[in-house]
Structure 1
């Protein structure tokens, strides 16, 4: 796909929805971990999502590539499926057991900084400019301020270093999968999202069996949590992610990672009655400034047309 990214009002609405959905996923995952091992959480959410998307894809007639795909396109699709689902889900679920939640949040925000140089060299129309770099750095600083001291503090665990590597590995997987997804030829978004989840299930279920053994029988509450994880932050969000990456590009998609921690903090306050950090306002100003600075051209075109 060689056409330039197209950032529209719908693009902004989709990344706002994704940020809200994924911002609450950390809370739900913590609940799931009370009754299910981490690798089976990853396998369950991908498996449930794959079933839902398969039904929708079948109803649409199994549309996928507009033209006959090459062997390289098929191999790339297999690689994307692992890098965008099974592998990072498993890495993050395991890593969260050994690092602070603050560090996990910062590692996810680093996805944007990883994508920026990759897209410059690998994706047409995604050149790295001083304004874009500055905007991404300002946004990342905002995330670090929001999370506070726990972002980089140690918990003293013996597996903390491995947990940190796992979290950054998950971020790198998301970054690389977005780059590869953008480079695919013309493809149906629902078909691609379904294929990624189906192949991801082939990765994640054997991995869960090897790492965690047979799955425990979940309680009704845990089963409902797993269904939610599969339907909303996996099936629905995966479809939205494909739409954004394919239309607006991986760099624009990565802006979600700066918004997710804000929603995570706000939802924690609303649902769990956690105190709002005093740095929330300053962090939000920096994050919004970073978003605006990095996407100055797109915003100018958008509001220019609106006016």
Structure 2
């Protein structure tokens, strides 16, 4: 997820407020389910083929947005869009798919919540933005949650490598959010989403073809990949940018709070994955740190 160009938020009416609440909930459920779908499909597809299917389907869903805003894209935009597509889609999607083969979906969903904190950390390290005491404390608390998550045990095994992959993916999200904010200002948000997914799809296709599994892929994995691409990626991105246009990026990003809750819930309900004590403690620490970092100064 990236933060697109700034737009003036529309203050919702009472009915609009309820619509926003429902849209945030639906988007949280969609994006939270993506970790479950990856958990189902990744063992059959492998990371790169799954990512390619996801990106192609997501880009096709968003193609109308790109066509509608194509006049706003100049030749100088495309290298930046390709870079953002690599850092915001191709690489993190592959890392999450790799992690899905090794750790429960809930762990990946909790790790993804670090995106907000990584965005602030990248802005501090590379762009000289001030973090401030509150965000500094939030980073410490968030990383404490990461330590708890990585040190837990799952069926006698440590999830350390899977957590590391998911956290690296979240860090790439943080990098790309800063790139979009600084280098794609003024480009329609829907066009950014569609173009970056399309560029990422073109990038990953050769690797996906080279590593395509020799054995037949189960029908349930194909259905999961289709849902991951069309619903979680295509429809999810469209809903996210619609929310940004209506209520502003700072409010739309609160969907981050819902992802681990839905991710853990879907995995528990439909995959039978247990909710361990380390997951609960880590989730509380990470979500608490994100909430603290997002609080506005009095």
Counterpart among 150, 153, 156 of residue 153 in structure 2: 150
Shift, 1:217, TM fit: 5.0
- Taking the TM superposition and a 5 Å limit, the aligned residue runs for 1:177-192 are 177-183=176-182, 184-192=184-192
Q: Can you list the C-alpha shifts for 1:115-166, whole angstroms capped at 9, x where unaligned?
A: 1122346679x74221233345445545766787238x9649xxx75x6654
Instruction: Quickly say closer, same or farther: Cα 1:180–1:194, change in 2 above 3 A.
Output: same
Whole-Å Cα distance in 1 between the matches of residues 133 and 8 of structure 2?
19
Is the Cα contact below 8 Å between 1:209 and 1:215 reproduced in 2?
Answer: no
- 3-state SS, counterpart of residue 33 of structure 1: helix
Instruction: Quickly say closer, same or farther: Cα 1:277–1:218, change in 2 above 3 A.
Output: closer
**Normalized against structure 2, the TM-score is what?**
0.73
Give the corresponding residue for 2:79.
75
Q: Can you list the C-alpha shifts for 1:28-52, whole angstroms capped at 9, x where unaligned?
A: 1121124322211100011111112
Whole-Å Cα distance in 1 between the matches of residues 48 and 5 of structure 2?
36
- Taking the TM superposition and a 5 Å limit, the aligned residue runs for 1:1-307 are 17-54=26-63, 56-57=64-65, 61-64=67-70, 66=72, 69=74, 71=76, 73-98=77-102, 104-105=108-109, 107-120=111-124, 127-138=130-141, 141=144, 149-150=152-153, 155=158, 166-183=165-182, 184-210=184-210, 212-213=211-212, 218-242=217-241, 247-248=248-249, 253=253, 259-277=258-276, 286=285, 289-297=288-296
Unaligned stretches of 5+ residues in structure 1? 301-307
Shift, 1:192, TM fit: 1.8
How many corresponding residue pairs? 285
Whole-Å Cα distance in 2 between the matches of residues 227 and 2 of structure 1?
29
Aligned-residue RMSD, C-alpha: 4.2
**Normalized against structure 1, the TM-score is what?**
0.72
Is the Cα contact below 8 Å between 1:104 and 1:167 reproduced in 2?
Answer: yes
Is the Cα contact below 8 Å between 2:56 and 2:229 reproduced in 1?
Answer: yes
Shift, 1:232, TM fit: 1.6
Whole-Å Cα distance in 2 between the matches of residues 3 and 93 of structure 1?
31
Give the corresponding residue for 1:304.
none
Unaligned stretches of 5+ residues in structure 2? none
